[in-house]
A and B are shown apart, each in its own frame.
Chain A
Amino acid sequence: MLSTQPEITIIGGGVVGLSVAMGLLSAGHRVHVLDGTDGDARASQGNFGLVWGQGKGWNFEPYARWTSDSLAAWPEFARTLTDLSGIDVALDQSGGFEFFTDADEMDEFAGMLAQQQGHLGNRFSHEILSGDEMRKHMPGIGPDVVGGSFSQLDGHVNPLRFLRALRRAVKTLGGRVTMNATVQAVRPVSGGGFDLKLATGNKTSAEKVVLCAGLGSAKLTADLGFTTAIRPQRGELLITEKLGVRLPFLSSTIRQVDEGGVQIGGTKADVGMDDRETLDVMASLASHAVAVYPALADVRVVRAWGALRVMSPDGYPVYAQSHHHPGAYLVTCHSGVTLAALHASVLADWINGTSTAPNLEAFDESRFTVSTAA
């Protein structure tokens, strides 16, 4: 590409950055993605791959709706992605469970789903099932499961092939991706545009900047006039040896990757940037899996890991345009896989400011300052 000044620079080459890049490229923009180093905290390489709605936004209607829109947009998105990348991301939206071994926790979750149902009406459906009902349909479910919920809208993808497919799709669409290009500082230039200083010592400039660097965004928000505090939240996961049979269910804590391995996860810990796996959590994840599906007992775990979620103060996504520095955008969220179908499509309209753009005011970062200002 001859141009030395790409029109839109995206800081961050994970699932969120690449999805946004894909949407902007599809809308006709030139895009340059700056990605960090191999050792960075990369949520996109450690996640669970859920394309999930249950429980999302039960007490924040805009998030419930936004998630619901993305679930609906995923089939088309997955097809486009395969066309562009040649990679099948193994999208499976045939429904998902939440399993409970504690009746009180289950009642609490049922209440949340009822609220979510209230926000979404006929765009959402869920069932609450007793343990016996579950065992009737799936005889392998363990006796300790007291019940759970099911939503036919939930699903998952292969998260690693998804990331690779995004990277390929962005290149197919003519996007430029530079690796080992950690952005150290961004300086708004008077009269418009931005100068970016890279950790390598190189400099680059951009007319528009979209900050999608996950936990790496935290040190750049202030440069662009954003105030959102981004924090890590550790989740720990296990993956087993591959199985030549399919588990009869998908749940938010136990899922079988299309390649055969069973991934077990769903824990939360606020421990800063520490992504180590811990013995207690490994053991509790294993007990959960064996309680839900006892036939997994003799299946071997080949690896455990910790990965860091990218969390805003309230856990919901932030879509913000800088008031101080027009042309700078902040896109950060925890559910980068679930929301990718929108990030790769209508979010480009929002960045472009077109009349068809979704209304994302509810996700502006001003929601974190309103209470203190009042």
Chain B
Amino acid sequence: MSDVDLIIIGAGPAGMSAAATAARGGLKVLLLDEQGHPGGQIYRNVAKNGTSRSWLGKEYASGARLVEALDNPHISTQFGATVWRLDDGPTVVWSKSGTSQISTARHVLITSGAQERPVPFPGWTLPGVMPAGAAQILMKSAGMLPRDAVLAGSGPLLYLVAAQMIDAGCPPKAVVETQTPRMMLNALPHLPKALLGISTLFKGLGLIRKIKAAGVQRYSNASDFRAHPNEDGTLAFSFQAKGKETHLNCALLLSHQGVIPSTHMTRSAGIAHEWNEAQQAFQPVTDDWGTTDRTGLHVAGDSAGIGGADAAAAAGELAALNILQLCGCLNSDTRNQRAAKARAGLLRARSLRPFLDAAYAPTAETLAPVDETIVCRCEEITAGDVRQSMSEGATGQRQMKTSLRTGMGPCQGRMCDATVRAILCAPRNTATDSIAPPRARAPIKPVTLAELAALSKIQAGAD
């Protein structure tokens, strides 16, 4: 007998929307999230911020309605709850305040979201270099505004953070963009389809206009990022733009090259993954409803492939409707009817994605940085070390990991898997899907021996 009907892992837009839909349909839901409040990273702290911090924008504030919908007697929530293992059953093992618990459900929906793509370059480990999204988390969760900051990289979030900083009265010192004319050219064929999401497109253009109007210095087609520490702890940031080397001093260097699905949970659960060439990332293989090849395990939202908050909310609703049908609460006709609106929303939200993926593709130097760059921050292993190991015969992520320890630190590869893979693929230029995704193993977040031992049924003896 299961503890609940549905366990949802992650209280971002996909998880919140799925929880509300499932609970309204009569399912008993347990919603788990590692953070202290619902919202995920995109709507982080949204309920507490209320109408304050209006510079975060209307889009952000709109997340509050998803949080409000969690107020349902069928939904129990656990925040500060870190899931570290999924088992057949399905069974979810999660840790809160130093104690692990095992919960079972008829179905498990993974809505673990995304993380920023690691942006390795020489100096990216220095204090003062941060992902732009991390700075945004500080703005949302603590009202802390970046000071003397340069935004560098590519992608819609870079513009959004710049606009939020402008509205909050602390505009960035400069926006250094790596987008090349060729990327925009590659993106143009996707534009007709993107018109379905025209309102989002306009919002994006509005952000760029705002940055221009604020007189923020912009550099385009930038490359060869490097950061050095100055005596006073600020950073000397250098890059190439328009054929010449440019130097900027700043307190904060906020980098961004898009986001990638968080797949430790789905990979550790043994779900099949596929390479998404357009997004340069692995994602779990799912059908239109978010079901996977593992019985009872479903995935929705950015953790199934990057689509953004609106797409995630729609996909969460679809996954929940399907789970309602699998639990016998809906027949398939009703499910399909009730799915129509979410399906249309998902289509609209996703229509812009191919354009964005092509227009703001990660640069080659982000994917496979120069030799001196640290790629594995935990173990302090450089791109040059990775290339050396390749010359000794390592052909895949596992051999790389075992020969160099890349991905063996506490972050478990979250900060280096993508880079190691890109370096492994670089010389071949073809068959980028010939390198399998790295294996993820429990515990997907570290857990103490005592906490693990407390789950023991059998006392181990010496072997």
Chain A residues at the B interface, C-beta cutoff of 8 Å:
13, 35, 37-39, 42, 45, 98-102, 105, 109, 148, 160, 163-164, 167-168, 171, 177, 179-180, 238-241, 251-253, 259, 264-268, 276-277, 279-280, 282-291, 296-305
Given the known A-B contacts A38-B396, A277-B442, are A300 and B447 also in contact in the complex, defined by CB atoms under 8 Å? yes
Chain B residues near A45: list those with CB within 8 A.
398-399, 402
Do the beta carbons of B462 and A286 come within 8 Å of each other? no
A-B contact pairs, 24 of them (CB 8 A): A13-B393, A38-B394, A38-B395, A101-B459, A160-B403, A163-B403, A252-B463, A264-B449, A277-B442, A282-B443, A283-B455, A284-B459, A285-B460, A286-B453, A286-B456, A291-B459, A291-B460, A298-B448, A299-B448, A301-B443, A301-B449, A301-B452, A302-B446, A305-B441
Do the beta carbons of A167 and B452 come within 8 Å of each other? no
Do the beta carbons of A279 and B87 come within 8 Å of each other? yes
Instruction: Give residues 248-279 of B contacting A (CB, 8 Å).
Output: 270
Do the beta carbons of A37 and B396 come within 8 Å of each other? yes
Q: In the complex, which residue of chain B has the Cβ closest to the Cβ of A44?
A: B402
Do the beta carbons of A164 and B462 come within 8 Å of each other? no
Q: What 0/1 readout, one digit per residue, does chain B (427-463) give for beta carbons within 8 Å of chain A?
A: 0000000011000011100111110111111111111
* Cβ-defined partner of A301 (8 Å) among B398, B447, B454: B447
Do the beta carbons of B449 and A289 come within 8 Å of each other? yes
Separation in Å of the B260 CB from the closest CB of chain A? 21
Given A283-B452, A301-B452, A302-B409, 13 more A-B residue pairs with CB atoms under 8 Å apart are A38-B436, A101-B462, A105-B462, A148-B462, A167-B392, A168-B392, A253-B462, A279-B455, A282-B442, A291-B460, A298-B448, A299-B448, A303-B412
Chain A residues near B456: list those with CB within 8 A.
280, 283-284, 286-287
Question: Taking the complex as formed, is B410 at the interface, i.e. its CB lies under 8 A from any CB of chain A?
Answer: yes
Q: In the complex, which residue of chain B has the Cβ closest to the Cβ of A298?
A: B448
Given the known A-B contacts A105-B461, A148-B462, are A167 and B393 also in contact in the complex, defined by CB atoms under 8 Å? yes
Chain B residues near A304: list those with CB within 8 A.
441-443
Q: In the complex, which residue of chain B has the Cβ closest to the Cβ of A149?
A: B462
How far apart are the CA atoms of A56 and B394 in the complex, in Å? 33
Separation in Å of the B54 CB from the closest CB of chain A? 41
* Cβ-defined partner of A163 (8 Å) among B396, B402, B412, B435: B402
Given the known A-B contacts A164-B403, A283-B457, are A303 and B441 also in contact in the complex, defined by CB atoms under 8 Å? yes
How far apart are the CA atoms of A297 and B403 in the complex, in Å? 29
Q: What 0/1 readout, one digit per residue, does chain B (68-94) give for beta carbons within 8 Å of chain A?
A: 000000000000000001010000010
Separation in Å of the A173 CB from the closest CB of chain B? 14
Do the beta carbons of A284 and B458 come within 8 Å of each other? yes
Chain B residues near A267: list those with CB within 8 A.
460, 463
Q: In the complex, which residue of chain A has the Cβ closest to the Cβ of B270?
A: A276
Interface centre among B85, B403, B454, B461 (most CB of A within 10 A): B461
How far apart are the CA atoms of A39 and B396 in the complex, in Å? 8
Do the beta carbons of A300 and B405 come within 8 Å of each other? no
Chain B residues near A171: list those with CB within 8 A.
392
How far apart are the CA atoms of A143 and B415 in the complex, in Å? 41
Do the beta carbons of B397 and A38 come within 8 Å of each other? yes
How far apart are the CA atoms of A171 and B461 in the complex, in Å? 42
* Cβ-defined partner of B410 (8 Å) among A101, A160, A241: A241
How far apart are the CA atoms of A305 and B402 in the complex, in Å? 13
Given the known A-B contacts A288-B461, A290-B450, A297-B449, are A279 and B402 also in contact in the complex, defined by CB atoms under 8 Å? no
Chain B residues near A291: list those with CB within 8 A.
459-460
Chain A residues near B412: list those with CB within 8 A.
302-303
How far apart are the CA atoms of A302 and B452 in the complex, in Å? 12
Question: How big is the B interface, by class?
Answer: 35 or more
Question: Taking the complex as formed, is B144 at the interface, i.e. its CB lies under 8 A from any CB of chain A?
Answer: no
Separation in Å of the B94 CB from the closest CB of chain A? 12
Chain B residues near A298: list those with CB within 8 A.
448-450
How far apart are the CA atoms of A39 and B410 in the complex, in Å? 23
Chain A residues near B395: list those with CB within 8 A.
37-38, 179-180
Do the beta carbons of B448 and A284 come within 8 Å of each other? no
Chain A residues near B454: list those with CB within 8 A.
283
Q: In the complex, which residue of chain B has the Cβ closest to the Cβ of A39?
A: B436
* Cβ-defined partner of B441 (8 Å) among A100, A179, A277: A277
Chain A residues near B453: list those with CB within 8 A.
283, 286-287, 289-290, 297
Question: Taking the complex as formed, is B126 at the interface, i.e. its CB lies under 8 A from any CB of chain A?
Answer: no
Do the beta carbons of B402 and A160 come within 8 Å of each other? yes
Do the beta carbons of A301 and B403 come within 8 Å of each other? no
Q: In the complex, which residue of chain B has the Cβ closest to the Cβ of A46?
A: B402
Question: Taking the complex as formed, is B426 at the interface, i.e. its CB lies under 8 A from any CB of chain A?
Answer: no
Do the beta carbons of B408 and A302 come within 8 Å of each other? yes
How far apart are the CA atoms of A101 and B461 in the complex, in Å? 6
How far apart are the CA atoms of A98 and B455 in the complex, in Å? 24
Q: In the complex, which residue of chain B has the Cβ closest to the Cβ of A109?
A: B462
Q: What 0/1 readout, one digit per residue, does chain B (110-134) give for beta carbons within 8 Å of chain A?
A: 0000000000000000000000000
Separation in Å of the A149 CB from the closest CB of chain B? 9
Do the beta carbons of B460 and A259 come within 8 Å of each other? no
Chain A residues near B442: list those with CB within 8 A.
277, 279, 282, 304
Do the beta carbons of B402 and A266 come within 8 Å of each other? no
The 6 closest A-B pairs by CB, nearest first: A38-B396, A266-B463, A288-B460, A286-B452, A300-B446, A283-B456
How far apart are the CA atoms of A286 and B458 in the complex, in Å? 11
Chain A residues near B458: list those with CB within 8 A.
280, 284
Separation in Å of the B121 CB from the closest CB of chain A? 26
Chain A residues near B443: list those with CB within 8 A.
282, 301-304
Instruction: Give residues 367-426 of B contacting A (CB, 8 Å).
Output: 389, 392-399, 402-403, 405, 408-410, 412
Do the beta carbons of B446 and A241 come within 8 Å of each other? yes
Interface centre among B409, B448, B460 (most CB of A within 10 A): B460
How far apart are the CA atoms of A148 and B462 in the complex, in Å? 9
Interface centre among B409, B459, B462 (most CB of A within 10 A): B462
Separation in Å of the B460 CB from the closest CB of chain A? 4
